[in-house]
């Protein structure tokens, strides 16, 4: 498998595409803040992503998520699948 190269232009492009109206993640970083700081943080983020790719490891904090149930249909008080 050929190694993947993470480049600053790609990281910057993804930061600038963030939806400002999405909620924060477990790190409590808002998409608005990330987007506004995109030019300042793209270099360190690129290095971090490349290091993760090169070592085939993911920081444990990246494995956390917030999961919220969303009501779709039926009785809200009936806990069935």
pLDDT, tens only, 17-69: 999 999 888 888 999 999 999 999 999 999 999 999 999 999 888 888 878 87
What is the pLDDT at residue 40?
97
User: Could you tell me the pTM of the whole model?
Assistant: 0.75
Domain positions in the chain are 8-57
**What DSSP line would sit under 3-30, residue for residue?**
PP---HHHHHHHHHT--TTSPP-TT---
Residue with tokens 């992503």: 49
């Amino acid at each position: 498998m050929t190694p993947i190269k993470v480049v600053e232009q790609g990281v910057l492009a993804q930061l600038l595409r963030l939806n400002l109206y999405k909620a924060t993640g477990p790190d409590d970083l808002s998409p608005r803040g990330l987007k506004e700081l995109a030019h300042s943080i793209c270099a360190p983020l690129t290095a971090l992503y490349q290091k993760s790719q090169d070592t085939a490891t993911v920081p444990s904090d990246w494995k956390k998520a917030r999961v919220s149930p969303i009501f779709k249909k039926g009785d809200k008080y009936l806990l069935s699948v």
